[in-house]
Every structure is written in structure tokens, then in C-alpha cells.
Chains A and B, each alone.
Chain A
Amino acid sequence: MMRFDDLVATISALQRSDLDAWIREEMVVPRQEAGALLFTDMECARVRLICTLHYELEIDVDTLPVVLSLVDKLYDTRQRLLSLTAAVAAQDKSVQAAIIAAIRPDGGLSAAAKS
């Protein structure tokens, strides 16, 4: 957990006013506790990512939310994919093989031909 001031102090490029704006835009969502803003490790990493995107890759402030929303979608999709994969991984080997065969463009064809 990090407080707003600590986070600004840790990342030298980070401008206080920018972080304020990002919070207002809900690009980062810190926890409010007793009037203080608290950032989890994950939120800190997210702030660092936004800093790189904005200060170093020069993605402007209007485009940032678009990029972040795509990044969020990417990770969300990966989560679904991973949970699906975990479900497959828990099946019998024969089921796993059948699924892999069906996914592969070439394997899918031959599997279809057999049935």
C-alpha cells in the first residue's frame, strides 16, 4: 500500500496534477481510507504503466483512456482464456487432445473429417 504523496515521490517523472487528473478520469482507482488515498501494489504498477505511456511514449492525455481500456480488455480476455484453459487442463488427456485438435486449423479439419 502506498499513499498518494509516497507514490509521487517514488516516480520521479510523475506530476502530482497529472495523477489527480487520472484519478478523476478513473484511470486509476485508489482506495479511500480516512481521507487518505491508498494505492495497492497493483494500482502502483498501473500508475507506472500510465507514466511510461504518457511521459515516455508520449501518448497524449485524450488518447490514454483509449489505450488503457484496450489494455484492460486484453487482460480481461486473457483471464477468461486462462480460466478456460485451466478447465481444459483439468479434463482427461483424451479430452485435452480432442480440444487441441479442434483448435488447430489443420487438426480441426482432420478431426471434422473423421466424424
Chain B
Amino acid sequence: MGDPYETLGVTRSATDKEIKEAFKKLARKFHPDLHPDDKEAEGKFKDISAANDLLKDAEKRRRFDAGEIDASGAERPQERFYRDFADRPRYAPHAAQDGFANNEELQEFLARAFAGGGHRSQGTFRARGQDVSYVLPVGFLDVVNGAVRTITLPEGKTLRVTIPEGAEDRQMLRLKGQGMPGFGGGPAGDAYVELHVEPHPFFHRKDDNIHVEIPVTLKEAALGAGIEVPTVGGPVTVTVPKGSNTGKTLRLRDRGIRNRKSGQRGHQLITLKVVLPEAEEPELIAFLEAWQPKTKQDPRKEMVS
């Protein structure tokens, strides 16, 4: 016999009244004498009776909770149910003559005759609960770094969802046993949570790498500079080399997303974008007007012939 709490489908903190109600409900469903067609009812009823015998007795329950006794102590001896007698073939002379039909064969014949007719509505007595699925919108950084979120379901139940580091958009998480409760002592179903990752204003993900466009001033680009840039793990200082043009890519090693399989981190790839000053800079204008480049430059020579 398994865990008596599980057998009755109650929590370990269930009150005596809850235990009693749970037992009553299951007993109605599984008492073999009330369900002569159900072959599993006898074993099932024995289990729930034994669980009830153990848990309804405060002292036995205390000792079980303390680990002093196990559930097997409560097992019931073999019991003969009323149906074992009441269901014996008494008026079956043909069966006796032919040596053909014992009770079981007759029942099988009956089952065949009524199969699909909806007459045997209680074929499965122990069933796993239904699976349920939810959609969980999560922030970009939550999936990059991993996070724990609590979702509250419409019926008031809360689910703790651990978002694994490096999870992907539309990834499905399975929460075992968090679906609908099982029927007749069967296990609960699973909850499936689909992650919908919200886009980030400047980080973009490509596989395990993070791409980001970083604006730099004309002066930083031309002369080189140490600048602070954001990464998914917080800001870091990066050296912009002298003479960096728009489109130049800098790589920050291991500042990307940890690969779930290899454990290796991706990189952050920075694309520089040179921006002109926002405010008026008369000196710069004056300099440019007077400036005679040493080399004549035609950046569009490939495009316009």
C-alpha cells in the first residue's frame, strides 16, 4: 500500500473531517458491493479502507507521520465481499452443461455485447488528471538570467514557475503534477507553461549571443575612448579604438547567454553607430569649412558610377 494521504487524496495537514469526507467519497465510488462490474474496485477499496483505518486513528496517524510505522501495518486481511456471493451464477443451467461459461466469460460476453453502447460508463476508475496549459509573458532579462515567477490561476491556486537561465521564446515548461487532480486516486495531470518573451528595447538575441547597437560621439569614434555599455549582466567598460566607424563590431566575450546544453556562454556583440552632436557646435562647423582632407574620399563610388 502506498502513502495513505495520497491514497485518499488529502494533504498531510488534512483535518479529521476532511479525511472522513475523502474516504466517504471514495468508498461510495469503489465499494465492490455497489460496483459489481468493476474488477479493480476490490483492490482499490482495500487501499482506501486501509488508508482510512490508519489516518482516522490519531495515535496511528501521529506514529506514521513520525516515521515510526509504515502504511503496511494498516493493511486489511483478505475480505469476502457480498458481491462474491450474490454474483455467483445460480440460474445458469446452460453454462453448467456446456462447461462453457464461468461468470467471468459471461461478463466478457456481456461487455462485448454492450461495448460502445455507453452502458458501462465506469470502465476506468483510476485516471490521471487532465493536463492544463498556460501562457506566461516574461521579460527579456528574466529568460536570459533565469528567474522565478508566481502565477495565480483563475481558481486562486498559485504556481511557482522557475524560468531556466537561457530559456527561449515559446519554450514549454512542464510542471509535473500541477495540472488537474487525478480521479479515483490517480496522479494529477501536468501543467504546461509556454513562455512568451517580451522584446527588449535595445538587446536582441541571436542564439546564445546578444546584439546591441551602441551610439558613440564623433569625438569618441575618431579619437578612441573608454565608454560604459550595458550588458545583460550589468554595465561594463569597453574601449572604443581610435578611428572606429559606424558599423564596427566589438565583441565582449562571455557576456551572452549561457547555453543550456554546453554550459558555455555566448558573447555580446556591439555594433557602433557614430552620431553627430545634437547641439550646435560652431567651432566644429568652422573647422570643417576650413578643412582640406589629405585624401579625397568618395564613400559612394561603388554605388554611383
Residues of A within 8 A of B (CB): 41-42, 44-46, 48-49, 52, 56-58, 71, 74-75, 78-83, 85-90, 96, 99-100, 103-106
CB distance from B24 to the nearest CB of A (A): 6
- Which secondary structure characterizes the binding site on chain B? helix
> Are B97 and A104 interface neighbours, CB within 8 A?
no
List residues of chain A with CB within 8 A of the CB of B1.
none
Q: Please judge, given known A-B contacts A56-B23, A85-B109, whether A42 and B82 are in contact too, CB under 8 Å.
A: yes
List residues of chain A with CB within 8 A of the CB of B94.
86-87, 89-90
Q: Please judge, given known A-B contacts A49-B33, A82-B89, A83-B92, whether A88 and B81 are in contact too, CB under 8 Å.
A: no
Choose the segment among B113-121, B133-141, B264-272 that binds chain A (4+ C-beta atoms closer than 8 Å).
B113-121
List residues of chain A with CB within 8 A of the CB of B17.
none
Docked Cα-Cα span, A75 to B82, in Å, equals 10
List residues of chain A with CB within 8 A of the CB of B100.
86, 89-90
CB distance from B68 to the nearest CB of A (A): 23
CB distance from A90 to the nearest CB of B (A): 4
> Given known contacts A57-B31, A75-B86, A78-B87, what 10 new A-B pairs fall within 8 Å (CB)?
A45-B85, A57-B28, A75-B87, A79-B89, A86-B89, A88-B109, A89-B98, A89-B101, A100-B112, A104-B114
List residues of chain B with CB within 8 A of the CB of A96.
109
List residues of chain A with CB within 8 A of the CB of B95.
86, 89-90
List residues of chain A with CB within 8 A of the CB of B52.
56
B278 interfacial contact with A, CB 8 Å? no
Q: Of B34, B97, B109, B116, which one neighbours A106 at CB under 8 angstroms?
A: B116
CB distance from B87 to the nearest CB of A (A): 6
Q: Top 5 A-B pairs ranked by shortest CB distance?
A: A42-B85, A86-B95, A90-B94, A86-B92, A75-B86
> Are B87 and A89 interface neighbours, CB within 8 A?
no
B91 interfacial contact with A, CB 8 Å? yes
Q: Number of B interface residues, CB 8 Å?
A: 41
> Are B98 and A90 interface neighbours, CB within 8 A?
yes
Kindly identify, within residues 8 to 62 of chain B, every residue whose CB is under 8 Å from any CB belonging to chain A.
23-24, 27-28, 31, 33-34, 36, 52
CB distance from A8 to the nearest CB of B (A): 17
Docked Cα-Cα span, A74 to B113, in Å, equals 19
> Are A89 and B27 interface neighbours, CB within 8 A?
no
Docked Cα-Cα span, A63 to B93, in Å, equals 36
Q: Which residue of A lies closest to B91 (CB)?
A: A83
10 interchain pairs, CB-CB under 8 A: A44-B80, A45-B85, A48-B81, A49-B81, A56-B27, A83-B91, A83-B93, A86-B94, A89-B109, A90-B95
> Are A45 and B24 interface neighbours, CB within 8 A?
no
> Are B91 and A79 interface neighbours, CB within 8 A?
yes
B105 interfacial contact with A, CB 8 Å? yes
Q: Please judge, given known A-B contacts A89-B106, A90-B94, whether A45 and B116 are in contact too, CB under 8 Å.
A: no
CB distance from B202 to the nearest CB of A (A): 64
Q: Please judge, given known A-B contacts A58-B24, A103-B117, whether A89 and B89 are in contact too, CB under 8 Å.
A: no
Q: Please judge, given known A-B contacts A41-B80, A75-B36, A86-B89, whether A81 and B27 are in contact too, CB under 8 Å.
A: no
CB distance from A7 to the nearest CB of B (A): 13
B162 interfacial contact with A, CB 8 Å? no
Q: Which residue of B lies closest to A67 (CB)?
A: B34
Q: Which residue of B lies closest to A108 (CB)?
A: B117
Q: Which residue of B lies closest to A103 (CB)?
A: B113
Q: Which residue of B lies closest to A81 (CB)?
A: B110
B296 interfacial contact with A, CB 8 Å? no
CB distance from B65 to the nearest CB of A (A): 23
List residues of chain B with CB within 8 A of the CB of A83.
89-93
> Are A48 and B82 interface neighbours, CB within 8 A?
yes
> Are A80 and B81 interface neighbours, CB within 8 A?
no
Q: Which residue of A lies closest to B98 (CB)?
A: A90
Docked Cα-Cα span, A88 to B31, in Å, equals 30
Docked Cα-Cα span, A103 to B116, in Å, equals 11
